Structure 1
């Protein structure tokens, strides 16, 4: 009987009547083999007999859901011309929906120094490689539908950046067998924290399948953050409590469904700028052996070297249809089949590089904006890579991590000179960055801290990084953190130091959550999570990174909940536009005053000694607010502006002794603190 005709699309493995349709892209291969494995690791090879364009395809009879497989690709080994085929190496399918197992590093099996001859001694890599898995794609979503039906408006969005494993690994109430897993993240105890806190959108550090680096294994460490992707469609298998033969897909979907039922969005931190294969000395796991030059940007003058703007050894070749198509297919899959609500793109500037230079009109940006599946979801750029800084440079439909907000607000609260004008811009949604291109302040994802760097507690408790546990002699991680230990390095029993630290943490949280734009809260900052001064905990899959639920700072947690509650119930604290902005009406207004209630005059903004500012924020028909900031080392008497709706009352302050009574006209705001006043409509 003649095997059914195969199709060149969709790429990857598709379950069809009687077997599998397999389609693999490679322009440079001479043969592509589909290799299935039974439970005794016995391998069966099936050559893909057809080629349409550069897609090899074939039908594999009798195989179906649960089949474990890999690919072998024959062809020339010619690194000097950018080609690296080796049929002795089992490769992962770039479109695999699940991956089972990890790999055991062996330079002989996985990597070749470009200066050494290729070892074709018959040694095979299959036993040390993870395997792809054919999965059952059916799932009962009930009433849950993909974005845009459950989208949270940007003006109400509060992002919570966290980690599937770290958040739940020690969470009381979650059964031990579920801690650190997708199921644990969907547990009512986890969801309860998000709901009581008031955040709307959970941004997960990478959950695409990643692998462990040999360099970390040699040190007894593990990649924790997950920025070492090898499977752009597969949920990371270690986060599954139910197995890795496809169960991780079902468990991830169940997690998303549970979070949606609780009113929470799911945003994925995605790493499409590079892969785990690194440079010429890195392992060959998938793309290198399939079609090296199609998937990676190579140095034109030296095709055995990789163009690298990520600091990892390689960069995806987004100017090539194969690599760009892979990214787009992956994004659509996570929206349509996994129901995620948005993406934060790691080192997104790399994805905009066509011929090496970043471009606002790159194919990647154009495709995301015209794609009917992707256009409605939240798209957030990390707008830089190691070769360029593009804050403000992405299209109007995109949001951006605003690194300027982080740096300027840190400087302001540390008492730096001449920061008043810049800080005003940040609090108002960075109009200096976004208004020239008529972009909304809601394009600005504001942050004080993120996974990369100090936590908020450590930002206010350490002057220096303490990364010795990372095994690099404290040479890794950022050295200029704009941090201040408030009088002692690390933990202390000094009540004065601890009181200053608490004030500083509240100042940062309030500035973040009361500023125009979309706030992003680093998970754990709301409860004082510390990493012991480690500002580069990417390799700390340990108690250094896991949330310590026995050490929650309840005063800080209650404060954070209150600021979020105020923001969500008060339109004046979350405007889409201010009156001065293009296209705005009169319902949102802001007035900026000096501490003496006078308008700012020429030269005031650049006054190196200026440390105080008042923002009067109003929304027509709603409560108005006056936000008083004082970063000086001494208390300052503010002349309080007239209340728009009646007398001012105290809404919040980082000073626990702040009091407001009656028709207040002046108010002393103590050193390094803020006060928020409310005038009820």
Structure 2
């Protein structure tokens, strides 16, 4: 209870409730009104209402008695310690081994620790110690592998935001492993899910025991410390991110043993890592691996949440991705995966979802935070029955609350210091930066991250928007942060489909987006450049479809964006026309090459390098099947092997040429008497572009990157110098001529890359004189190296 003195014993108490005529319990204002107002009751089906009430009466009459009969005698509970939160196995007083349990539940009246044996029998242990709103106790003899949960007692008054219901077993938000799956039957809801009047259903308490239907936390032994020097520590400017799904990337891989496919161990397998190293990426960005639950509407349609953006356990690796077991083994398996990737020089970045939880809105299930302290964890509206929803997922965590901020930062530090990860991509990060209502770049969350000695040293990536008012914040995050740059995505897509009204925006996007990020000491690597991501079309679908085809999601094709900025090359969907297919492959090469030559941090999506398709589904979040998995058989086809080879070759160019990985923005000013500048733009006729050229549509651009005076020093403190390059981008439907700039830019050029060619294993090697014209094939990129 708030305000109780530290260490004051509290005994479990039943929630006081009213009783109506007939003897059944009335647990909410809505139910009281239904009982006391026969006219309101008449609008419902009397038989249905009576049946539901009868079931509630029977459950409340028998439920507690049955639970007491099933419970084993409670073990001794010593006072223990309020910190650290969660379940921590340790040696207690007098050398006795056991587990300390600590749970923040600020407004609760009592908390019971529930221990479960192998048969599922429950033993309830009251936690009687309360210190600064943390309920805690040390249970001797409880060892790693013990399954547990909590029952939290308090008022049921949804009208004020109070939703305590001790009939519901709750997952410890600090649980480091979770055993079991969420199936979401009616029993796991704090309210009567199927109450006839859904407008007030969330106010009618459900007293059925949820313990048989929900996963349990697992006590984990902290015996596997992370070795700091294993980390690759790749500088941001040298990073290439590869977004992948643990299950989707490995599920169909023929060289991974069948029992390891779809798991952390599968991603750690040499066959998976070999593809990553051969490609040349430096980091994997894993779609959510926090323990997550499936949404009720998906389960009712026989589908599952594949992506995992529905977290419920912020410390636990998702048990469904474990090949070794779910009684704590998933923790060690995840660590071994990270070590294997680190040994290959690959960093691990987690996509994390701290903006909302799987408990959804007021009609959602009661799984953890809602039952622990609804008002303490979630943002509520002026009507406290309702949740503020800046995420589009039904709820928003109240990050300005100290206990919520502590939960998030404790979780982040745990994944860095004990699980070995190298960074995080924050889903809907603008929701975390909201103070009261508005996005605030001085918010508690951003301020805490900035001063944290652990977190400020890892890679931090913001998805810089949410769905609330003022939520679009691209370019606004503080200097420690790197951001997903959707303006890069849109400009590059529009250029290659011939839809740019002018090329001003494209010029900024290809050169690091200085208009967005050149402030506060930020660098070009503040921009994560991408053409595709997990949500939206795959790269192959981007050139094969113009409209989404999400019928298999079961939502009438209403889900997913309609703003695809795609061009299908003349036919919607798969085609047997060789010319159309050849054009599509060329467009893939153009998009990949543009991305990998741009200044900033490139992000690829797993499978794009080999022509993966989702059949036009641009929202495959619930497609845990061949639609959502990488099809490795594509590499048996020559055209897709060539695309993979091109990707690897351009990444090799990027890795070996620092001019393509600049650590500072271009100045555009002459660095020497000859007038040569670090960056120059050329029109098709060979003259430098003028201001009027930027304000006009153009299908052809020449981008000159000078390697002569690159800002910064190398590891030995020496000046950085490199070759200079000219990239010619031509989005026109017909071939064109381009006049190559002569002195002082170059005397001659060597053709390094031509995306019009199907075979990309080797550079063309053609040498061309400066000042001469070169023919640029339709819809292609030419990359030329300046020859001294």
TM-score tier after normalising by the smaller chain length: over 0.9
Counterpart of 2:696 (choices 607, 625, 632) is 607
Structure 2 matches for 1:92-241, cutoff 5 A? 92-112=171-191, 115-116=200-201, 122-139=207-224, 144-145=227-228, 150-241=232-323
Q: How many Å apart are 1:578 and its aligned residue?
A: 3.7
1:524 matched to 2:612? no
Q: Distance in 1 between matches of 2:677 and 2:186?
A: 62
Q: Distance in 1 between matches of 2:202 and 2:392?
A: 27
Contact 1:578 1:588 in 2 (8 A): no
1:647 matched to 2:748? yes
Residue in 1 aligned with 2:110?
Answer: 31
Residue in 1 aligned with 2:705?
Answer: 617
Q: How many Å apart are 1:437 and its aligned residue?
A: 4.4
Residue in 2 aligned with 1:663?
Answer: 769
Aligned partner of residue 324 in structure 1, secondary structure: helix
CA 1:305/1:2 → structure 2, altered by over 3 Å: closer, same or farther?
A: closer
Q: Which moved more, 1:662-671 or 1:270-279?
A: 662-671
Structure 2 matches for 1:366-515, cutoff 5 A? 366-387=447-468, 388-515=471-598
Q: Distance in 1 between matches of 2:732 and 2:128?
A: 74
Q: How many Å apart are 1:473 and its aligned residue?
A: 1.3
Contact 2:188 2:367 in 1 (8 A): no
Q: How many Å apart are 1:154 and its aligned residue?
A: 0.9
Structure 2 matches for 1:289-304, cutoff 5 A? 289-299=371-381, 301-304=382-385
* Residues 549-597 of structure 1: per-residue CA shift (max 9 Å, x gap): 1123111101111110101101111111244189x99999111111212
Q: Distance in 2 between matches of 1:278 and 1:542?
A: 25
Contact 2:390 2:467 in 1 (8 A): yes
Contact 1:625 1:679 in 2 (8 A): yes
Q: TM-score, normalised by structure 2?
A: 0.83
Residue in 1 aligned with 2:154?
Answer: 75
Counterpart of 2:682 (choices 593, 602, 607) is 593
Q: Distance in 2 between matches of 1:338 and 1:359?
A: 30
Structure 2 matches for 1:185-334, cutoff 5 A? 185-299=267-381, 301-334=382-415
Q: Distance in 2 between matches of 1:139 and 1:215?
A: 39
Q: How many Å apart are 1:117 and its aligned residue?
A: 7.6
Counterpart of 2:781 (choices 669, 674, 677) is 674
Residue in 1 aligned with 2:426?
Answer: 345
Residue in 1 aligned with 2:39?
Answer: none
Q: TM-score, normalised by structure 1?
A: 0.96
Q: Distance in 1 between matches of 2:225 and 2:587?
A: 47
Residue in 2 aligned with 1:555?
Answer: 642
Q: Distance in 1 between matches of 2:201 and 2:653?
A: 64
Q: Distance in 2 between matches of 1:117 and 1:169?
A: 39
- Say which structure, 1 or 2, has more relative contact order (CA 8 Å, 6+ apart): 1
Q: Distance in 2 between matches of 1:208 and 1:125?
A: 22
Q: Which has the larger radius of gyration?
A: 2
Q: Distance in 2 between matches of 1:642 and 1:360?
A: 47
Contact 1:577 1:588 in 2 (8 A): no
Residue in 2 aligned with 1:546?
Answer: 629
Q: Distance in 2 between matches of 1:319 and 1:88?
A: 29
CA 1:680/1:253 → structure 2, altered by over 3 Å: closer, same or farther?
A: farther
* Residues 649-674 of structure 1: per-residue CA shift (max 9 Å, x gap): 11112111888444252112122211
Q: Distance in 1 between matches of 2:326 and 2:144?
A: 13
Q: Distance in 2 between matches of 1:332 and 1:127?
A: 32
* Residues 605-629 of structure 1: per-residue CA shift (max 9 Å, x gap): 1113x22211111222321110001
CA 1:124/1:570 → structure 2, altered by over 3 Å: closer, same or farther?
A: same
Q: Distance in 1 between matches of 2:287 and 2:693?
A: 42
CA 1:184/1:224 → structure 2, altered by over 3 Å: closer, same or farther?
A: same
Aligned partner of residue 298 in structure 1, secondary structure: coil
Q: Which moved more, 1:355-364 or 1:115-124?
A: 115-124
5+ long unaligned stretches in structure 2: 1-74, 92-96, 192-197, 709-720, 759-763
Aligned partner of residue 404 in structure 2, secondary structure: helix
Aligned partner of residue 547 in structure 1, secondary structure: coil
* Residues 444-471 of structure 1: per-residue CA shift (max 9 Å, x gap): 0000000000000000000111111111
Contact 1:578 1:589 in 2 (8 A): no
* Residues 478-512 of structure 1: per-residue CA shift (max 9 Å, x gap): 11200011011111121111111111111110111
CA 1:285/1:648 → structure 2, altered by over 3 Å: closer, same or farther?
A: same
Q: Distance in 1 between matches of 2:225 and 2:157?
A: 48
Aligned partner of residue 503 in structure 1, secondary structure: helix
Residue in 2 aligned with 1:8?
Answer: 82
Contact 1:579 1:588 in 2 (8 A): no
Aligned length: 675
Aligned partner of residue 603 in structure 1, secondary structure: helix
Q: How many Å apart are 1:3 and its aligned residue?
A: 6.0
Residue in 2 aligned with 1:634?
Answer: 734
Q: Distance in 2 between matches of 1:346 and 1:194?
A: 24
Q: How many Å apart are 1:321 and its aligned residue?
A: 0.5
Q: Distance in 1 between matches of 2:459 and 2:272?
A: 23
Q: How many Å apart are 1:2 and its aligned residue?
A: 8.8
Aligned partner of residue 619 in structure 1, secondary structure: coil
CA 1:182/1:588 → structure 2, altered by over 3 Å: closer, same or farther?
A: farther
Structure 1 stretches of 4+ moved >4 Å: 1-4, 117-122, 584-588, 643-646
Q: How many Å apart are 1:109 and its aligned residue?
A: 3.4
Q: CA RMSD in A?
A: 2.0
Residue in 1 aligned with 2:655?
Answer: 568
Residue in 2 aligned with 1:358?
Answer: 439
Q: Distance in 1 between matches of 2:315 and 2:777?
A: 52
CA 1:581/1:231 → structure 2, altered by over 3 Å: closer, same or farther?
A: farther
Contact 1:114 1:281 in 2 (8 A): no
Residue in 1 aligned with 2:33?
Answer: none
Q: Distance in 2 between matches of 1:446 and 1:59?
A: 49
Q: Which moved more, 1:286-295 or 1:625-634?
A: 625-634
Q: Distance in 1 between matches of 2:77 and 2:273?
A: 50
Q: Distance in 2 between matches of 1:360 and 1:123?
A: 44
Q: Distance in 2 between matches of 1:674 and 1:513?
A: 12
CA 1:126/1:347 → structure 2, altered by over 3 Å: closer, same or farther?
A: same
